Amino acid sequence: MPDFMDPASGVFGEEAFHQLLTREASRATRYQDFFSVCLVQPDGVASVSDESMQQAVSRKIAQFLRSTDVVARTRDGIAILLLNTPDHDATRVAERIRSHVENVSFQPDPAAAPRRVTLSVGLVSFPRDGHNETMLLTRAQSRLQTAAQRGGNQVIASNGA
């Protein structure tokens, strides 16, 4: 699988993330289990122009989570698959990630000054927010956009909150 790991950040690539999410949705449906997905975008960091910052944030998030969780780089940012994590626990995890990252000074480029970033996060949970990859990612992306439009540095876990 060519896109299994992103060599620069050491986290999963987008293709691998989509395959894992599809597999987890099938597994969770069969066993009546649950999981959550976060789409994360560093505030004020353009994906293309500041790739090294995206990679650094991805690595930091992966260090903060359980080894069973999945962190991936996508063309639009960072995706997190929180296995066996119901929605109320996922909200706490997402808030801890957001809070932790805003207190870290990142210096992905040795020639640049260290800087801090905040995160916008869109959170969905299976099965509450959808039963397949497409539905979950569409809703997570909508919530991520809402978080960013509301000024960033926040987690949106439902349409209104």
pLDDT at 40 over 70: yes
Helix axes 51-64, 87-102, angle to 10 degrees: 130
**Angstrom distance (rounded) from CA 26 to CA 157:** 22
Report all structural domains of the chain as residue ranges with CATH numbers, in order of start.
Answer: 5-156 (3.30.70.270)
| Residue 51: Cβ within 10 Å count | 15
> Could you read off the pLDDT of 57-112 as tens digits, one per residue?
999 999 999 999 999 998 888 999 999 999 899 999 999 999 999 999 998 778 87
pLDDT at residue 159 in the model: 59
> Could you read off the pLDDT of 122-154 as tens digits, one per residue?
999 999 999 999 999 999 999 999 999 999 999
Please give the residue that has the higher pLDDT: either 46 or 44.
44
**Structural contact between residues 65 and 80, judged by C-beta atoms closer than 8 angstroms:** yes
Please give the residue that has the higher pLDDT: either 47 or 14.
14
Residue 113's pLDDT band (boundaries 50, 70, 90)?
A: confident
